[in-house]
Structure 1
Amino acid sequence: MTVNSSCFDERLNALKSPEFLSSLKQIKRGVEREALRIKSNGELSQAPHPKALGAALTHESITTDFSESLLEFITPPESRAEDTIAQLKDIHRFTIDNIDGEQIWPLSMPCFIEDESQIPIAYFGESNVGKMKRVYRVGLKNRYGSMMQAIAGVHFNFSFPDSFWALWAQLNGKDHSQEQTSEDYFSLIRNYRRFCWLIPYLYGASPALCGSFLAGKSHGLPFKKVGQGTYYMPYATSLRMSDLGYTSAEQSSLKICYNKLDNYVALLREAMGTPSSRFSQFAAGEEGNYQQLSRNILQIENELYSPIRPKQPTQSMEKPTDALVKRGINYIEVRALDVNPFSAIGISESQFHFLDVFLLSCLLMPSEALDESQLTEAKDNMNKVVLEGRNPELKLLQGGEEISLPAWCETLFAQFKQVAALLDTANETDKYMAAVDEEWQKVIDPAKTPSGVLLNALLKDDKDNSVFGLELAERYKAEMAGYAYTHTDADAFQAASQASLDAQADVEAADSKDFDSFIRDYFNEPPAKKNA
């Protein structure tokens, strides 16, 4: 795809108006950071989710993902990156003080796990909704294996304020509406898909993994060995985002459309209703035997693995697709970020600023509809970068033509700098341009990427990933214990934990039907229609 620079420039100049600048200050972001709990020797914790952290089912900021051992920290949408960073520090401080001497694994790829059976599946209590969440995870284990589900990442949630979308619609000669906002978000999403290979290049931090992760896997990748049992690829950036990691061969046949919300929803619903020959071997409730929620390609919408998702907050037991149909896109969820191993909280403030620049640039650039060949090209570029991103000989495809990664970056970063200047003006800062300059240094010198720094550290001392991770975990444990509470103190966290335990008990007490009926009614609920 070639960028129409005149259109980009016109849009950029329009955003310099006082009204647009004011709206840009109200961009909101939130973070979902995943992290394994580990013992002091670096092994995966087998202990249940600590009661002191509250109920994973109902706590707003501390929960679990696939495993009892896989913590997930959630921050609300905020218009200042500094506030989100402070909230993450508060959560980490409270957690490290309440996990009985355990530590937080600082890498995306799992610590040493001898056997998948050692990964305890998350438990959410005895309510119907809690049981459903657990059965869904049992299904993930049966479909893809538990080891893949033990991978951790960081999700970056991003939204423009309604005032921005009203001005944007006017700028483009459209009427401002929920439907138009969703259409514009999809325009951004399409360009994100075109350029998202840049995210693992700049932020990928999983060029190596523990040999236990490869046990029993057929991969055919040319791994080399460092330390006692760590395997790496010399130019890899994010093995987490490779076919070894958080991907699904079963879903590769899905042709998810990012051109229109109606088509996106229809294809997701179709996948949830289409039987899978591969997954038909697992029971789905017959005679009370639940090895998965359904035998279909997707059990629920959340099973779709994608580097970005359009999102709308759901109400109780509301399907994500129904929420999108009823209320349109509220924010986007960037899902291609590895945990930043060089930050105790898994992400740095400069990443916030660069991602703002990147996502606003994706909106400002022209964004034609993606056809199947273009989406395939985008996926191929992503796969090349996660496996070979720092290879100086690497060639990507841009509209069917080969181009080097640095050459493509040169064009993109010229636009990023203009967008950074705009956001600096709007926010009366210089942090956006500084963030872009910091990332440009990684393009000039691949050794400065997180994957390059991490791999060089392993090779320099012939060190295992597990040793490196444990060293960081011990350092960060001390750092977290030294954080001063800013937004939420220990008493408030303790109160929130107790409130979540009480809320879970209320949910369990309120159940009025058996689990079989609950699941049947959930899937039999007619799909929501627009303006319903």
Structure 2
Amino acid sequence: MTVNSTCFNERLAALKSPEFLLALTQIKRGVEREALRIKPNGALSQEPHPKALGSALTHDTITTDFSESLLEFITPPESSAAKSITQLQDVHKYTIDNIGDEQIWPLSMPCFIEDEAHIPIAYFGESNIGKMKRVYRIGLKNRYGSMMQAIAGVHFNFSFSDDFWKQWAELNGTEHSQDQTSADYFSLIRNYRRYCWIIPFLYGASPALCGSFLKGKEHALPFEKVGKGTYYMPYATSLRMSDLGYTSAEQSSLKICYNQLDNYVRLLRGAMDTPSNRFSSFAAGDGGNYQQLSRNILQIENELYSPIRPKQPTQSMEKPTDALVKRGISYIEVRALDVNPFSPIGISQTQFDFLDVFLLTCLLKPSAELDEAQLNEAKDNMNSVVLEGRKPNLALVRDNEETTLTAWASSLFDEFEQVAEILDLANDTTRYSDAVAAESKKVANPALTPSGVLLEELLKHDKDNGVYGLELAARYQEEMKGFAYQQTTQAMFKEAAETSLAAQADVEAADTKDFDSFIRDYFNEPLANSTNR
């Protein structure tokens, strides 16, 4: 038995204590689901964010992402996954009941957009903070194009309780502190980076895309064609996560470190302070002309494209890196999930349960620091899986040695099964073992993956991605209308919308600076440093 497996087994055994089992019931998770509003014919809605949904600036649950048409639904951190699911159902029902004949696009990749000019940039009102959010998005459009920003995903937010971290520190012979908790989250994050190729394999649902998405894009991918204008790769899992999708070549040179919080923050801030030759041509406040917030590699922290982020909720006007420095990591945000096209709400209970198992496994396994070569190895594995994840005997590289996806996944699932048993014991259920068993079938038969099922539907009927998306959108529109409110009533949603609109008006009325001064002061605010903690 290796030292690493001994460490994993010892930690696993320790989780069976009553204290750890109780702490495992306190895991919290939430969801951010993005979705385009479309017309019944599939065209992107050109209507403003509906007033009935409230203010995109100040609503806690319903907002917009890049586009005025790109909804984002947010559920708060909950210890019950079932509650999160029903909260998400409630939000979908209220939304679909208040957007007229519009529907919610059920796929990650957009369709029926012939011209990027038809993707309206989100509007957050006339406050300084509202204008800043819009200028940031104008910058994204100028830097990467609007089509890339119209891609939708699902973000899974996950955290352990303070009680858990106290038990964990004691188990590992360390002193419990916020600094130690952040270090342990980074340990989890490093293993996530090593193994996160398994997420697009299991949940990738974008093996094909509409021809309009490729318009004007240079690529050397060997696409095949189905239907009238859909392009696919036979073994692709998540083109959303490929270089064609939500990625940035400009950021590929960044060497973001996931070994310590201080280095992570330093390198992220460095990217926000380093001028970019590629983006220098866009105005950044010159004479009041804002085509972006800055000419640097990153305008703000959120521009960093990563399959996972360490997070700490920000206070008013606080930079995300300042929040991390002052208060450490509060939760992690998993960002590698495609929208699940086989769920009306974009994610399923099985996914919740499996992700709990996966993330706990990432913490339990030893996690040495990542050097540049290992990080590149992880990136290469991810790229191989998003483009060819269902290919028989696909080769990946594990610790500088070649292996197959099937062999590596099988060894991981042996560990997932053991971790699932612990979570089942803690929660008096079989859900976790059931989720692991369901996902393991995909390793044995990749045709069962969402990408496999979706592509089979297209090929079997010579059907376009867009046609299939419209079929699902119409079906889910009826399903959502039939949902019964379980956590939030219609009246509560209406009140939340009205309250958010009033809050936006208050923010606008409270502004005392001109926009130029506001932006200058925001970026000149002294940065927090780790010695302040």
Query: What interval of TM-score do these two structures reach, taking the shorter chain for normalisation?
Result: over 0.9
| CA distance in 1 between partners of 2:356 and 2:23 (Å) | 14
Partners of 2:411 and 2:349 in 1: CA distance = 25
In 1, the alpha carbon distance for the partners of 2:372 and 2:513 equals 44
Quick one: distance in 1 between partners of 2:98 and 2:200? 33
Alpha carbons 1:105, 1:111 under 8 Å: kept: no
2:276 alignment counterpart: 276
- Equivalent residue, structure 1, for 2:447: 447
Map 1:213-224 to 2 at 5 A: 213-224=213-224
Q: CA offsets, 1:33-52, max 9 Å, x none?
A: 00000001111111110000
1:129-528 map, 5 Å? 129-528=129-528
Partner of 2:11: 11
Q: CA deviation at 1:410?
A: 1.1
Give the direction of change, closer, same or farther, for the CA distance of 1:262–1:478 in structure 2 (3 Å limit). Answer: same
Letter of the aligned partner of 1:84 in structure 2? S
Q: Contact 1:3 / 1:365 at 8 angstroms: preserved in 2?
A: no
8 Å Cα contact 2:393-2:405 kept in structure 1: no
Q: TM-score, normalised by structure 1?
A: 0.99
Structure 2 partner of 1:70:
70
| Maintained 8 Å contact 2:322/2:527 | yes
Aligned-residue sequence identity (percent) comes to 77
Aligned partners of 2:134, 2:338: CA distance in 1, in Å? 25
Give the whole-Å Cα distance in 1 for the aligned partners of 2:399 and 2:362: 17
Number of aligned pairs? 531
The structural deviation recorded for 1:3 is 8.0
Could you say if the C-alpha distance between residues 3 and 115 of structure 1 is closer, same or farther in structure 2, counting changes exceeding 3 Å? farther
Partner secondary structure for residue 334 of structure 1: strand
1:31/1:74 contact within 8 Å kept: yes
The equivalent residue for 1:97 is: 97
Aligned residues: CA RMSD: 0.7
Contact 2:30 2:84 in 1 (8 A): yes
1-side partners of 2:316 and 2:456: how far apart? 47
> Quick one: distance in 2 between partners of 1:505 and 1:147?
31
Contact persistence 1:135–1:293 (CA under 8 A): yes
2:103 touches 2:477 (CA, 8 Å); kept in 1? Answer: yes
For 1:520, the aligned partner's letter is R
Deviations 1:436-484 (A, max 9, x none): 0000000000000000000000000000000000000000000000000
In 1, Cα distance between equivalents of 2:393 and 2:485: 48
Distance 2:273 2:529 in 1: 17
Equivalent position amino acid for 2:342 in 1: F
**Consecutive unaligned residues in structure 2, runs of 5 or more:** none
- Are 1:128 and 2:106 an aligned pair? no
The code of the aligned residue for 2:180 comes to Q
How far residue 393 of structure 1 moved from its aligned partner, in angstroms, is 3.3
Deviations 1:344-393 (A, max 9, x none): 00000000000000000000000000000000000000000000000003
1:280 & 1:441 partners in 2: Cα distance? 49
* Amino acid in structure 1 at the alignment position of 2:391: N
Letter paired with 2:4: N
Task: Please give the secondary structure, in 1, of the residue aligned with 2:403.
Answer: strand
What displacement does 1:111 show?
Answer: 1.9
> Alpha-carbon deviation of 1:208?
0.3
Q: Unaligned stretches of 5+ in structure 1?
A: none
Deviation at 1:400, TM superposition (A): 1.1
Q: Which one-letter code corresponds to 1:266 in the other structure?
A: R
Q: Secondary structure at the match of 1:362?
A: helix
Rounded Cα–Cα distance in structure 1 between residues aligned with 2:491 and 2:363: 42
- Give the secondary-structure state (helix, strand or coil) at the position aligned to 1:4: helix
Code of the aligned partner of 1:126? E
Secondary structure at the aligned position of 2:188 is classed as helix
Deviation at 1:112, TM superposition (A): 1.2
Cα distance change, pair 442–368 in 1 and its aligned pair in 2 (3 A): same
Cα distance in 2, alignment partners of residues 492 and 182 from structure 1: 36
Q: For residues 465 and 253 of structure 2, what CA distance do their matches in structure 1 show?
A: 34
Query: Cα offset for 1:220?
Result: 0.8
Cα distance in 2, alignment partners of residues 518 and 53 from structure 1: 28
Contact 2:393 2:406 in 1 (8 A): no
Distance (whole Å) between structure 1 residues aligned to residue 496 and residue 511 of structure 2? 23
One-letter identity of the residue aligned with 2:452: G
Cα deviations across residues 109-152 of structure 1 (Å, max 9, x unaligned)? 00210100000000000000000000000000000000000000
1:384 and 1:523 map into 2 onto residues whose CA distance is 38
